[in-house]
Amino acid sequence: PGLNFGGLFVAPTLSSTHTTSEMTCEGEQINLHEYQVVGRRVPTEAEPHPKIYRMRIFAPNTVVAKSRFWYFCKLQVNKLKKANGEILDCTEIYESKPEVVKNFAVWIRYTSRSGTHNMYKEYRDTSRVGAVHQMYQEMAGRHRARWSSIHIMKVARIDASQVRRAATKQMLSSTIEFPLPHRITRATDKRYRRTFAASRPITHFS
């Protein structure tokens, strides 16, 4: 039970989620982190137990994560802003298995020069943060979309059977092979190493 405000689920308990991302300025390369920000309206006599809101924010630091939390609260929750609210918790979320490659689906909404569009993207990465970073790079290159005009609605890990895009499906084969056209031959033992050689080595194999 609860209300859905365009991706922000409101309930009396910590059960609402929303995702977004933040960059510092245009053209600058930074490292993103995923934070869980929990906040609510300041308790009053009329409302001693206000509803609690939880969001998953992609941001470079906690300061930007809290700022984006209030940004979305002001947009989607009636009269809730930093002046009459409080942050209960802000913790970073780490990937449970960062050494395993996974399939991620990203649902976004961005504003272009012609209107607002919904998009579904798929990426293969070792973490959710890495998939979001790929999304920002692709949107900037293909659609000239700036970070400020992109709102991430949802990021989820999907199984191989749920993959839709052909570019992702081609990487799912267990027998996939990659050519090695450029190989450098090395000595089998240290005593056979030479600083100079009589002939130029051949590194290209067709």
pLDDT digits (tens, 9 = 90+) for 164-177: 999 999 999 989 98
Q: What is the largest CA-CA distance in the chain?
A: 89
What letter would DSSP give residue 40?
E
Phi-psi region of 171 (alpha: psi -120 to 50; beta: other; left: phi over 0): alpha
Half-sphere exposure of 182 (CA within 13 A, CB side): 0
Joined tokens for residue 108: 């976004």
Determine the residue type at 128. R
129 confidence band (pLDDT: 50, 70, 90): very high
**Mean pLDDT lowest among 13-17, 86-90, 131-135:** 13-17
Q: Is the dihedral of CA 54, 104, 134, 110 positive or negative?
A: negative
**Mean pLDDT lowest among 93-97, 170-174, 180-184, 190-194:** 180-184
Res. 157: pLDDT tops 90? yes
Contact 90, 105 (CB under 8 A): no
Helix (H), strand (E) at residue 42? none
Mean pLDDT of the chain: 86
* C-alpha pair distances (Å), 146 with each of 39, 109, 141, 143, 149: 27, 12, 10, 9, 6
Distance CA 74, CA 80 (A): 5
Distance CA 104, CA 126 (A): 9
> Could you give the 3-state DSSP secondary structure of residue 146?
coil
Share of the chain above pLDDT 70, in %: 84
User: Where does residue 4 rank: exposed (0-12), middle (13-18), buried (19+ CB within 10 A)?
Assistant: exposed
Task: State residue 28's pLDDT score.
Answer: 58
180 confidence band (pLDDT: 50, 70, 90): confident
142 confidence band (pLDDT: 50, 70, 90): very high
Mean pLDDT of 170-197: 87
Task: State residue 7's pLDDT score.
Answer: 43
Query: Would you say the pTM of this structure is higher than 0.75?
Result: no
